Structure formats: C-alpha cells, structure tokens
Amino acid sequence: MAATALLEAGLARVLFYPTLLYTLFRGKVPGRAHRDWYHRIDPTVLLGALPLRSLTRQLVQDENVRGVITMNEEYETRFLCHSSQVHRWSPEEAVRAIAKIRSYIHIRPGQLDVLKEFHKQVTAGAAKDGTFDTSKT
C-alpha cells in the first residue's frame, strides 16, 4: 500500500508540469479548444486554476481578488504563485466562511490539519517580522 501511494505521488509530480503546459496552451488557443483559467461563480468568488504570477496583477486590478484558497501540493505552488495574507482568519474561521457561501464544499479532517499547520507557520513567521498580530488568532 505504501509503495502504491509513493508511486502515485511520484507520478503526480512527474506529470504536473506537462499538464500545466497543456493547460496554458489551451488558454491561448481560440475556438472550441480554448479553456478559461477561471470562471466567476458569484460576485465574490472565482473558481479556477491556481493563478500564476503573470496573472496576479490582472486578477487584483480587474477582478478585485484579495485572497486565494488552494489545496495544492507544495511543489505545485513553490515557483508559480504569489501569496499574501489578507484575512486574518484561523483555519476554522476560513472553513466556516467557505461553508457559508458554498455549503456543498466539505473540508476533510486531513485538509483542516494541513490548514492548521500552514496557519501556524505563517503566523509564527509573521509574528517574528512584526507583520501579524497573534492576539487576533
């Protein structure tokens, strides 16, 4: 079982960049083969692929994006996107906010654990820099 999971994780990493290039290509092609990078779901939510650095300015200026929630693997985000902290929500507050607007989205316990660990790392690093008030979390 562990060997299968290891092979699947390795295969996902090997296939990530070729499929990313394919998706980028589909975004540039006109006609029926075109695939948009994101879609507006309602006035406050965009649903789509993780925004690349080249798309960040457009999303902030044109779409008024103030935050991105992603459940990507670290290797998928390391070189491709910017991140910043807009809301100072705890992981539980973020999950509640998502549930209010999209009740059909369910965050599994493992995903919540990942959010909690990420939140802990981000707030600890920001507290050292003086950019995050830990009394609000």
pLDDT, one tens digit per residue, over 8-48 is 778 888 888 888 888 889 989 999 999 888 888 888 788 88
* Domain-located, residue 105: yes
Look at residue 29 in the predicted model and tell me its pLDDT: 93
98/123 same-domain check: yes
* Domain-located, residue 41: no
Please state, in angstroms and rounded to a whole number, the distance separating the CA atoms of residues 71 and 51. Answer: 13
Segments forming the whole domain that contains residue 94:
87-128
Q: State which amino acid sits at residue 125.
A: G
* Domain-located, residue 119: yes
For all residues of the chain together, what is the average pLDDT? 76
Contacts with 99 (C-beta within 8 Å, 6 or more apart), sequence order: 105
Look at residue 19 in the predicted model and tell me its pLDDT: 86
50 phi and psi angles, rounded to 5 deg: -60, 130
